Amino acid sequence: MIRLRHHYARSIAAALVLLVVGAVAHAETPAPGTSLQELLARYQAAYQPPTDLEDAAWQVEALGRQLEHRHLPRLSFTERATWSNFQRWTLELDLSVTLPLYRSNSAILNLLQDQRLRALGLDQNLARHEALSYFKLGLLEVSLLRSVEEQVSGALQRLYLSGWHRPASLDIAVALDPAERDLLVLQQGAESLLAYVTRRLTELEAELFVPLGLTASALESPPYSQLLPQVVPELPPLERCLVSSPLLAQAEMHHDLQDLEHQALRAPDLSLELLGGGAYQRGALQGTIGLEMRLPIPNGYPVAGQLGVSTDLGGTQQTMQVSWPPPPALNRPRSALERVKAKESELESIAADIRAIYDNAESAADRVAATELQLLWLVADANGLRAAPGAAFSAAELAAVHALADSPTGDPLTDLQRVRHWSDTAFARLAHAEQLLALGLVCGAGA
C-alpha cells in the first residue's frame, strides 16, 4: 500500500494532476468574485485519489472478498467424454459440493483485513489532505504573483514614460555613467522577472482552474495577509505535533500491519469441511458424503505439503503429502527484534523530519523579516523618514512606512529598487507559506 510519509515536498503540479477534468461541452466562465470557499468546494468535488491508492483500494477489497469466499460453499462440475478404441463413446459427469465448517486461522485473517482497511483509510485521508494543501499553496502563489506582476509592470511603465530607454548597442551601454548602469541592471532584472511571473501565472492558473471547469482566473487575489489565515490552519506546538502527527500514526499502523501479516503466515491453517457429491458413470448414478480435515505444512518449513484425514460412508482415510523444494519466500524473513528496531528507526526519522520542517518554517519567517526590513529601509530613506537618535518609529510612523512600501516613488531608479525588494519579500512570504502548509500537513492540522 502506498505510504505518504515524506511527500510534503512534492511540487504543486504533482498534486494538481490528481484532479479529473470531466467532459464539458462549454467550460464555465465564473464571476470575477468567485470566493475561496467556492473554489475549495469545486476542488473537493473534482478530487480523485492517485492511481496507486486506487490500486491499493482494489487489492484490499479483493482480499476481503477472498476472505469471505473461504466461508462460502464451493461447487465443482466435471464432464468427461471418452471415445474408447475409436469405437465406443462413454460419458461421465461429476458434481461435488464443499461446505467449510471451520478454519483455525480465521480470527487472525479477520484482524489482518481490518488493519488493511484502517491503513487504507488513513492513506486516503492523508492523500486528500496533501492534495488540498498544495491546491491552497497554488492559490497563495497566484495571489502573490499577481501582486508582483502589478508592482513590476507598473514600475517598468513609469520608467518607460520617464524617457529612459535601454541602450541600443554595447558601445552605448559601456559609456553609461554609474547611475545609469544601475538603472539598466535594475531594468533588465525587472523585465526578466516580469516575463517569468507572467509565464508562471499562465501555467499556474491553468493548473488550478481548468481542472475545476473554469476558463478564467476565478480568484480576485486578496492580499496575502488576508488569504493566508483562510488557507493555513492553526498550527500546534512542536511537542504536540510529535505526539499527534498522522505520519507517525501511519507508520505505526503499517508496521502493525506487517506484524499481522507475519503472524498470519505462521498461523496453522487447519480446515474442516463437509464434502458431498454425485457422479454419473457407465450409466449409473452414485453419491457420497463425508468430512475432510486438512493441515498444510506452515510456511518456512524445509518441505511443503499437508496432512489430511477424511471419512465418508465407505470408511476413513489418512493421507500425508510432502514435496520438496518448498515455495521460495517472497520477502526476506525478519525477526521480531528486527521488526521492532525498524519501526523505532522509522518513527525517529519521521520525528526528525518534523523538527526540520519546524526549523525551516522559522528560517523562512526570518527570511521574510529580513527582506521586508530591506524594503522598509529603502522606503524610509527615499522619503526622508528618520527617527530621533536612539528612538524608534511610533506605530503610526511604522504604518506609514508600510503604506509607502506599496506605493511608487518619484525616482525611476529608487522605484525599481523598491520593486526588487518588494518582490523578494513576496517570494519569501510564499516560501514561508509553503513551510506553514507543510507543517499543517505533517501535524494533521485542519484535516
C-beta separation of 223 from 144 below 8 A: no
In whole angstroms, how far apart are CA 150 and each of 33, 52, 153, 219, 221? 19, 41, 5, 15, 12
For residue 159, being part of any structural domain is answered with yes
At 36 the pLDDT is: 85
- Counted domains in the chain: 1
What does the alpha-carbon distance between residue 243 and residue 369 come to, in Å, rounded to a whole number? 30
Q: Evaluate whether residue 283 is within a structural domain.
A: no
**371 domain residue, yes or no:** yes
Angle at 436 between CA 435 and CA 437, to 5 degrees: 90
Domain contains 330: no
**What local confidence, expressed as pLDDT, does residue 21 receive?**
30
Q: No. of H helices and E strands in the chain?
A: 12, 6
Locate 227 and state its grid cell.
488569504
Q: Look at residue 8 in the predicted model and tell me its pLDDT.
A: 36
Assess contact for 281 and 293: CB atoms under 8 A: no
Q: Mutual orientation of helices 224-231 and 36-46 as an angle, nearest 10°?
A: 40
Q: Determine, yes or no, domain membership for 100.
A: no
Q: Is 51 exposed, middle or buried (0-12, 13-18, 19+ CB in 10 A)?
A: exposed
Is residue 97 within 8 Å of residue 75, measured between CB atoms? Answer: yes
Strand-strand pairing, 88-103 and 271-281: antiparallel
68, three cell numbers: 469471505
How many other C-beta atoms can be found within 10 angstroms of the C-beta atom of residue 226? 11
| Locus of grid cell 502506498 | 2
In a domain, 136, yes or no: yes
φ and ψ of 328, to 5 deg: -70, 145
By the 8 A CB rule, do 396 and 426 touch? no
Tens place of pLDDT for every residue, the chain, 447 residues?
333 333 333 333 333 333 333 322 233 444 455 678 888 999 999 999 999 999 999 999 999 999 999 999 999 999 999 988 888 888 899 999 999 999 999 999 999 999 999 999 999 999 999 999 999 999 999 999 999 999 999 999 999 988 777 777 787 778 778 878 888 889 899 999 999 999 999 999 889 888 888 876 666 767 888 888 899 988 999 999 999 999 999 999 999 999 999 999 889 999 999 999 988 887 788 888 999 999 998 877 888 999 999 998 889 999 999 999 888 877 778 888 999 999 999 999 999 999 999 999 999 999 999 999 999 999 999 988 887 777 788 888 889 999 999 999 888 999 999 999 999 999 999 999 999 999 999 998 876
Indicate which CATH number applies to the domain containing 163. Answer: 1.20.1600
Instruction: Classify residue 302: in a domain, yes or no.
Output: no
Residues 6+ apart with CB under 8 A from 441: 8, 129, 130, 133
pTM over 0.75: yes
Closest CA to 143 of 219, 212, 198: 219
Contact, 442 vs 358, CB < 8 A?
Answer: no
Report the distance separating Cα 280 and Cα 192, nearest Å.
87
Q: Which residue has the cell 539598466?
A: 184
Within-domain flag for 39: yes
Residues 418, 422, 423, 428, CA torsion sign: positive
Q: Amino acid identity of 255?
A: H
DSSP conformational letter for 283: T
If residue 77 lies in a helix (H) or strand (E), which one and from where to where? strand 74-84
**Helix-strand-coil split of the chain, %, nearest 5:** 55, 15, 25
- Residue 396's domain spans which residues? 12-72+106-265+335-443
